[in-house]
Amino acid sequence: MGGEPITALNVAAFPSGKLPIEVLGEILRGGQDVVHAAGALVVGGHTVTDDELKFGLAVTGRVHPDRILTNAAAAPGDVLVLTKPIGTGILATAGKNGKLSAGHLASLVSSMTTLNAVASRVAVHLGLRCATDVTGFGLLGHLSHIARASGVAIRLDLSAIPWLPGTREAWEGGARTGGGERNRDFVEGMVDWGSASDFERAALIDPQTSGGLLVAVPSALAADYLSRVPGAVAVGLIVERGAPRIVLA
């Protein structure tokens, strides 16, 4: 991490005959808008016929070796910062089942369409070295990657974790993800759950789409980083290696 995108290729699967071709045009236009906002260019792509609509981008970028953000560089005393609220998997599941309000859907889309560019660039500008994105493994899964790769443990402040609006209501309404169950199995032996409620446990292993960054920030730079990254929240502390690797407090 820590690089800058240069070019992107569209990769699309489209259910020809099931959806009007204008839908694909709007998807490609939206993708191009985001690529341009990130400072890169779309230089082509590939489309196939499929029964299920899919779209993604294959991105090429560059990063100076001295500016790489890795999950293997956290140190005891670092403040753990999360740059976006979590809950996209639970909310998207509720939305697919027609159980998400228009307001909560708007919050979900706004979060997922917000680039991590500012969070990444500020980290590079301040000379930080440790970061990872929060995606399919959920918050705890990606924390476990930092703990393992950096040889540290993590104290997570449950009260500081930001949830997307409607996440608790969607979960209480029955929204569940298969990926969440697999994530629970993955982290089970590494986590002291403390007093976490059933909802908090589910949200912490919820697979994220277009989640934020987890950044380990030296304590002397934490206030500066938080002031420069909208929405960033201090959610824990990196501590000396121990068992379990992640403690919820």
Note whether 192 and 157 are same-domain residues. yes
Q: What's the pLDDT at 104?
A: 97
Mean pLDDT estimate for the chain: 96
Note whether 162 and 244 are same-domain residues. yes
| CATH number where 8 lies | 3.30.1330.10
Note whether 57 and 129 are same-domain residues. no
Q: What's the pLDDT at 17?
A: 86
Note whether 45 and 116 are same-domain residues. no
Note whether 20 and 92 are same-domain residues. no
Question: How many separate domains does the chain show?
Answer: 2
Answer whether residue 176 shows pLDDT above 90: yes
What is the mean predicted confidence (pLDDT) over 165-182? 94
- Which whole-number Å values give the CA distances from 188 to 27, 130, 180, 196, 201, in the listed order? 38, 24, 12, 14, 11
**Cα gap 204→191, rounded to integer Å:** 11
Print the domain residue range for 235: 69-248
**Cα gap 94→115, rounded to integer Å:** 23
Residue 32: DSSP 8-state: H
Note whether 18 and 131 are same-domain residues. no
Segment 42-71, tens digit of pLDDT? 999 999 999 999 999 999 999 999 889 999
